[in-house]
Amino acid sequence: MRGTWTKQRLPDVRGVRYRVRLAGQGRPLLLLHGFAGSSLLWTPLVPALLARGWQVIAPDLLGHGGSEAPADPARYTASEQVADLATLLDALDVTTCTVAGYSMGGRLALQFAVRHPARVTALVLESASPGLLDLAERTARRQADETLAQAIEQRGIDWFADYWDNLPLFASRRALPDDRLALLRSQWLAQRPHGLAAALRGFGTGTMPPLWDQLHELDQPTLVIVGALDAKYVAIGRAMTERIPRSRLVVVPDTGHTVHLERPDAWLAALDTLPVL
């Protein structure tokens, strides 16, 4: 599957080395992976995306995969990572693009679209959240993320891979083909404890600024994709589409949190409904 990617670049982005995988020459599509993943987790979709005329741009996000992992959580905040994405696109000579993000990557896609609306032609938000408005919920989430960060630092990546694999949120992924399961686990095991811990502390859901009050400002065509088995994110998706003017909710049957790997056909079919801009 690695041969699907035609290029790899390692640009310096505001003092941090990023790894970016690229393929194709068409309309730019920026793909942002989830927590503990990397650009390789988009690999199964790349052939179909190229056939549809996309230029695929998939960075390993800060602290993940082959990108550098600064120790300071302050380098992982929403404003810092949004500035990184803008600089990265400049380095690739990409002025505007469609931005698709999964889970943590979806949160970053939203942050980028709010801060750089002119650069985003369309949004695809898979199992993503605009954050937490309630102060008590944010505090509880920060505490939970700190507990997980400390556990990763103390127990290591093998422990984390087992823990992450057994979360109820991801139960439906266990029906994936063996090659997809192996790809997922290989990405978890390739992470660095201090990178994951810093990402949790600097860009966790309880740490990032919530965007609910800014959603009405988004005027790009927006797809909100969720799995029907993922009740929490179905509810979040419905609330988001009520606030984003040009949005559409896609609920994929018999699917959980990771739609693009569990049902890539449905993910791609939803993408096909975006207007060609």
Reported as a single tens digit per residue, the pLDDT across 35-88 is: 999 999 999 999 999 999 999 999 999 999 999 999 999 999 999 999 999 999
Q: How far apart are CA 171 and CA 273, in angstroms?
A: 29
CATH superfamily placement of domain 2-271: Alpha/Beta hydrolase fold, catalytic domain (3.40.50.1820)
Q: What is the pLDDT of residue 54?
A: 97
How is residue 260 written in tokens? 């693009």
Burial class (CB in 10 A: 0-12, 13-18, 19+), 54: buried
Average pLDDT of span 11-16: 97
- List the domain boundaries for the chain: 2-271
Reported as a single tens digit per residue, the pLDDT across 186-223 is: 999 999 999 999 999 999 999 999 999 999 999 999 99
Residue 27's identity, in one-letter code, is R
Q: What is the pLDDT of residue 64?
A: 98
% of the chain with per-residue pLDDT over 90 = 97
CB count in 10 Å sphere of residue 10: 12
The count of residues in the chain is 277
Q: What is the pLDDT of residue 1?
A: 47
Reported as a single tens digit per residue, the pLDDT across 254-264 is: 999 999 999 99
Reported as a single tens digit per residue, the pLDDT across 227-254 is: 999 999 999 999 999 999 999 999 999 9
Reported as a single tens digit per residue, the pLDDT across 99-145 is: 999 999 999 999 999 999 999 999 999 999 999 999 999 999 999 99
Q: How far apart are CA 271 and CA 267, in angstroms?
A: 6
Q: What is the pLDDT of residue 276?
A: 79
